[in-house]
């Protein structure tokens, strides 16, 4: 008990120090210092420092991870971008051409991917097709083998269980289409203003355990709200338990990561001859400069690193699921599938070797009843956030928002399923813990986006060094 209270006291002290805003310097700050002055050394609630993460990600993990994500299994993602917003009707669809998403033609997707939604092997493919046929009949077909009937019931039960943190798309819907993520990269589309701010404000206001009496400024880039109001807004975090503060930091880290992507792949030139995408230093400063954001920018970047550690930990925990001999990244090309599984395991064991993994036990402690209650709160809040993604007016933003929230939701599911993962059979179907192809693709691509953000921060640091 004493160590628990000591941890909380140290955490609250760190939060108070973090709320002080930009670094207090006796000499004028450079542009790089104003964005990164707090983004160094040890992270709050962690035994890891920023410099260790940067070195590990940028030079050891990032290159391998990007090569994995370029493979057919991970580049094709099935998504329904036509689902109606469940919360409000006044959605203004983005009419800019950069907001559009180009779906795949049917013959562009490998046969092994489009044949079924669960694909770990050829045998599993055949089994899942029988499962889908049985579900369409509304009952288990008695002509199926006893083992197949059991799989149908177990997988259906799994999909309806309380282990899922996201409300996933119905990928059997006629509106669901495959998208080549490499041909529809996440970048600045021009989608901004009240419609875009409304999405994030609803997320923060209604889903991050924030008291309704504390209001967040509508425009997250505005600096005219006043420092006292800004500090008042964040003071409510001190009154939350450490787990709920962690939830807020995950959402803030996801928001920051997306903003890094938009600043790094900004439309710098648009002429009839060519489009030029690149780093927009001004856009980055507007979102992360310590003075322009009144101390908020560096806090966002630290939360990005916090999110990185959480998803890194989830990937290290789920290794036994992917190590099973009957698991394949099934696309129908046996040679490439075998090579990609080897690369996947290389990436996962590289992640496992990270020396300063986040200790999630300090967050999800307490008796069983309290832990279950906390899990349910997390699940309901995060499911709500995943539904809000259907309200995004820009289709490309909606695509990447849905993918990254599903990826983070899958990471949370893994962290809450440690015992189920440990009890998995070494071979054969895993009924207690199961990941669909959608979850696998979103998990690795979402982490790939965060890994890219960390890499881009190094690029922005170097660019800002030349600005005084």
User: Which sequence positions are flagged as catalytic?
Assistant: 394, 397
For residue 19, the model assigns a pLDDT of 37
Bridge partners of 180, per DSSP, are: 76
Q: How far, rounded to the nearest angstrom, does the alpha carbon of residue 3 sit from its chain's CA centroid? A: 31
For residue 453, the model assigns a pLDDT of 97
How many domains does the structure of the chain reveal?
Answer: 1
Q: Which pLDDT band holds residue 159 (cuts at 50, 70, 90)? A: very low
**Least confident piece of the model among 132-136, 357-361, 392-396, 398-402:** 132-136
Q: Which pLDDT band holds residue 239 (cuts at 50, 70, 90)? A: low
For residue 452, the model assigns a pLDDT of 98
**Least confident piece of the model among 165-169, 385-389, 391-395, 443-447:** 165-169
Residue ranges in 265-333 assigned as alpha helix (H): 281-288, 296-317, 319-323
Residues 6+ apart with CB under 8 A from 290: 21, 22, 23, 29, 34, 35, 37, 38, 297, 298
Residue 359 belongs to some domain of the structure: yes
Helices (runs of H) and strands (runs of E) counted in the chain: 19, 4
For residue 116, the model assigns a pLDDT of 54
Return d(Cα 403, Cα 440) in angstroms, integer.
Answer: 11
Residue 138 belongs to some domain of the structure: no
Return d(Cα 375, Cα 390) in angstroms, integer.
Answer: 24
Is the pLDDT assigned to residue 432 strictly greater than 90? no
Q: Which of 7-16, 20-29, 222-231, 321-330 has the highest mean pLDDT?
A: 321-330
Residues 6+ apart with CB under 8 A from 193: none
- Higher pLDDT among residues 176 and 48, named by residue: 176
Q: Tokens for 330, please give them.
A: 């099934």
Is the pLDDT assigned to residue 451 strictly greater than 90? yes
Domain region containing 39 = 31-113+164-210+236-466
CB hemisphere CA count around 172 (13 angstroms): 10
Is the pLDDT assigned to residue 96 strictly greater than 50? yes
Residue 334 belongs to some domain of the structure: yes
- Higher pLDDT among residues 150 and 391, named by residue: 391
- Higher pLDDT among residues 409 and 32, named by residue: 409
Residue ranges in 329-436 assigned as alpha helix (H): 334-352, 368-388, 395-415, 418-422
Let me know: does 201 contact 214? Beta carbons within 8 Å: no
Q: Tokens for 85, please give them.
A: 């917003």
Let me know: does 17 contact 23? Beta carbons within 8 Å: no
Residue 242 belongs to some domain of the structure: yes
**Least confident piece of the model among 109-113, 154-158, 384-388, 399-403:** 154-158
DSSP run (H or E) holding 53: helix 50-56
Q: Which residues are annotated binding-site positions for FAD?
A: 187, 189, 200, 252, 255, 287
Of residues 408, 349, 455, the one with CA closest to residue 66: 455
Q: Tokens for 4, please give them.
A: 């628990």
For residue 143, the model assigns a pLDDT of 44
Q: Which pLDDT band holds residue 237 (cuts at 50, 70, 90)? A: low
Place of tokens 């890994």: 451
State the helix-helix crossing angle for 395-415 and 437-464, rounded to 10 degrees.
110
Return d(Cα 68, Cα 441) in angstroms, integer.
Answer: 11
Q: What's the mean pLDDT when you consider all of the chain?
A: 78
Residues 6+ apart with CB under 8 A from 129: 115, 116
For residue 39, the model assigns a pLDDT of 73
CB atoms within 10 A of CB 173: 12
Is the pLDDT assigned to residue 426 strictly greater than 70? yes
Residue 156 belongs to some domain of the structure: no
Let me know: does 126 contact 144? Beta carbons within 8 Å: no
Let me know: does 397 contact 385? Beta carbons within 8 Å: no
Global pTM reads: 0.82
For residue 361, the model assigns a pLDDT of 67
For residue 194, the model assigns a pLDDT of 82
Beta pairing, strands 275-278 & 266-270: antiparallel
Bridge partners of 276, per DSSP, are: 269
pLDDT, one tens digit per residue, over 262-313 is: 999 999 988 778 889 999 999 999 999 988 888 888 889 999 999 999 999 9
Residue 25 belongs to some domain of the structure: no
- Higher pLDDT among residues 327 and 129, named by residue: 327
**Least confident piece of the model among 59-73, 131-145, 317-331:** 131-145
Is the pLDDT assigned to residue 134 strictly greater than 60? no
Q: Which pLDDT band holds residue 404 (cuts at 50, 70, 90)? A: very high
328-351: average pLDDT? 94
Is the pLDDT assigned to residue 150 strictly greater than 80? no
Per-residue buried b or exposed e for 225-246, using 16+ beta carbons within 10 Å of the residue's own CB: beeeebeebbeebeebebbbbb
Residue 40 belongs to some domain of the structure: yes
Residue 313 belongs to some domain of the structure: yes
């Amino acid at each position: 008990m004493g160590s628990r209270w000591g941890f909380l006291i140290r955490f609250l002290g760190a939060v108070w120090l973090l709320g002080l805003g930009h670094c207090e310097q006796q000499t004028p700050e450079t542009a790089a210092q104003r964005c990164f002055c707090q983004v160094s050394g040890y992270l709050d609630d962690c035994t890891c420092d920023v410099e260790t993460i940067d070195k590990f990600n940028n030079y050891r993990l990032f290159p391998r991870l990007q090569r994995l994500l370029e493979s057919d299994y991970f580049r094709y993602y099935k998504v329904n971008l036509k689902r109606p917003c469940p919360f409000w009707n006044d959605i203004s669809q983005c009419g800019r051409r950069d907001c559009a998403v180009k779906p795949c033609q049917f013959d562009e997707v490998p046969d092994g991917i489009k044949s079924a939604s669960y694909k770990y092997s050829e045998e599993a493919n055949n089994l899942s097709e029988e499962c889908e046929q049985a579900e369409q009949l509304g009952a288990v077909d008695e002509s199926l083998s006893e083992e197949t009937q059991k799989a149908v019931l177990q997988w259906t039960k799994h999909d309806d269980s309380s282990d899922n943190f996201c409300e996933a798309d119905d990928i059997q819907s006629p509106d669901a289409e495959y998208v080549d993520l490499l041909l529809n990269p996440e970048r600045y589309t021009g989608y901004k203003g009240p419609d875009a701010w409304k999405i994030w404000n609803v997320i923060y206001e209604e889903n991050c355990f924030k008291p309704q009496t504390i209001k967040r400024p509508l425009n997250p880039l505005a600096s005219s709200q006043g420092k006292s109001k800004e500090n008042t807004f964040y003071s409510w975090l001190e009154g939350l338990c450490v787990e709920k503060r962690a939830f807020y930091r995950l959402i803030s880290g996801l928001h920051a990561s997306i903003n890094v992507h938009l600043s790094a792949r900004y439309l710098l030139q648009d002429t009839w001859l060519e489009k030029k995408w690149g780093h927009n230093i001004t856009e980055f400063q507007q979102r992360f400069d310590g003075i322009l954001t009144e101390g908020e920018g560096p806090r966002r970047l630290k939360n990005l690193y916090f999110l990185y550690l959480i998803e890194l930990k989830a990937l290290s925990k789920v290794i036994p699921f992917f190590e099973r001999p009957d698991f394949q990244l099934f696309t129908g090309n046996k040679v490439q599938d075998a090579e990609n599984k080897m690369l996947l395991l290389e990436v996962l064991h590289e992640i496992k070797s990270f020396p300063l993994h986040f200790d999630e036990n300090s967050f999800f402690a307490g008796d069983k009843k309290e832990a279950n209650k906390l899990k349910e709160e997390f699940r309901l809040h995060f499911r709500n956030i995943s539904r809000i993604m259907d309200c995004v007016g820009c289709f490309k933003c909606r695509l990447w928002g849905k993918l990254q929230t599903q990826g983070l939701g899958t990471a949370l599911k893994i962290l809450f399923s440690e015992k189920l993962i440990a009890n998995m059979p070494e071979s054969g179907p895993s009924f207690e813990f199961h990941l669909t192809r959608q979850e696998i693709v979103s998990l690795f691509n979402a982490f790939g986006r965060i890994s890219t953000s960390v890499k881009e921060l190094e690029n922005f640091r170097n660019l800002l060094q030349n600005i005084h």
